[in-house]
Amino acid sequence: MASWTVRLESVDQRMFLALAAHRAPALTWLMIGLSALAGPVLVIPLTLVLASGLVPEVATAGRVAAIVLAASHLVVQVVKRLASRPRPSDALGVASMTRNPKCFSFPSGHATAALSVALPLAHALPSVVGYPVLVLGLLVGVSRWYLGVHYPGDVLAGWTLAALTWVALPSRWLA
């Protein structure tokens, strides 16, 4: 059993280091901006505004996003403490491009939060708007890897958690 986790860790580290070797200053600023989109200072008020009905066309999607965000956040916090995975910058000695959060690395809370909000919105919006919202949600996760605060596996786990939470949400909660 331990051999597959060692291999997975090795792949995660190699992918992290490959991206870290190709950072560019101009792209770093973009990634910092993308990452900030899923920080609690922005994502929580945005979700509450959407859920409030101020934009009637997305009120139901906003309520779904609020429920998915809250539920997935609880799971993220439990899993982070159970997994206790150190940040890649701490484990590998590669500097992160932004302030390192104090909590553990696995799974990525930013990646989870971004997709928890993006999935319901993208589903409710016309494709011409929905697809860019979804891509933006995914790019937040990529930014966390790029900035050196998460391994790619942390981001993938966050995306998976958000998607599973959204899919598992009972439809009766949406009315």
The tens place of each residue's pLDDT in the chain, 175 residues long, gives 456 556 777 888 888 778 777 888 888 889 899 999 889 899 999 999 999 988 888 889 999 999 999 999 999 999 999 988 888 876 556 656 566 667 888 899 999 999 999 999 999 999 999 999 999 999 999 999 888 888 899 999 999 999 999 998 865 555 5
- Phi, psi (rounded to 5 degrees) for 123: -65, -35
Domains defined for the chain, CATH in brackets: 2-174 (1.20.144.10)
CB 114 within 8 A of CB 163: no
pLDDT of residue 151: 87
Residue type, 3: S
Q: What is the pTM of this model?
A: 0.86
Give, in degrees to the nearest 5, the angle at Cα 13 between 155 and 83.
Answer: 55
Residue 59, exposed/middle/buried by CB under 10 A (0-12, 13-18, 19+)? middle
CB 155 within 8 A of CB 144: yes
